[in-house]
Amino acid sequence: MFNQFLRENKISAALLTLLRVYLGYAWMTAGWGKITGGFDAAGFLKGSIANPVAGPDGIVYGWYVSFLEGVALPNVALFNFLVPWGEFLVGLGLILGCFTTAAMFFGLVMNFSFMLAGTVSHNPTDILMGVIILAAGFNAGRYGLDYYVVPFLRKTLEKKGINILQQKA
């Protein structure tokens, strides 16, 4: 019942619009600050590798530390580009309500990445809001560009013989 309210109700769509614009503003300003402020992830990555998330039995996310050490740190220039622009574009997508579910998915990926690296900050709250937006699907972008973009894409794909909403007979 709650899921139906979240995914179909117009009042819910209005509340979701407020939530996604709030969260989008936070993402966009964080990204813009990094874009204009000379962001460098090297220090964060080195700190996350040196001080991984640990519990009573040792390192909790050893696989993630290995990823940071073997992939992220050697390619820090790529991450110096991806993180700020990713944050900015996630925020822009949420504010405009364009590709809302995709933007929120990638926002959640970044939130979880920050948490796996040991940064709690506001990430749990952002994840909670993000899951609500993601669960709402199209309704989260109803009062945004998704109202126009999603039907256009659906018609365009159907003309090419691609049915994205295939139903079993």
* pLDDT block averages, 10 residues each, the chain of length 169: 92 97 98 96 96 92 96 98 98 97 97 94 95 95 95 89 64
Residue-range definition of the domain harbouring residue 16: 2-159
**d(C-alpha 57, C-alpha 88), whole Å:** 37
Tally the domains of the chain.
1
- The tens digit of pLDDT for each residue in 1-50 reads 889 999 999 999 999 999 999 999 999 999 999 999 999 999 999 999 99
- Residue 98 resides in a domain: yes
166 within domain boundaries: no
Residue 48 resides in a domain: yes
* Any domain includes 169: no
Provide long-range contacts, Cβ within 8 A and 24+ apart, for 36-39: 39/80, 39/83, 39/84
Whole-model pTM? 0.90
165, part of any domain: no
Q: Which residues contact 116 (CB under 8 A, 6 or more apart)?
A: 53, 61, 64
Residue 7 pairs in a beta bridge with none
Within 10 A of 110 (CB to CB), how many other CB atoms are there? 20
**Contact partners, residue 13, CB within 8 Å, separation at least 6:** 136, 139, 140, 142, 143
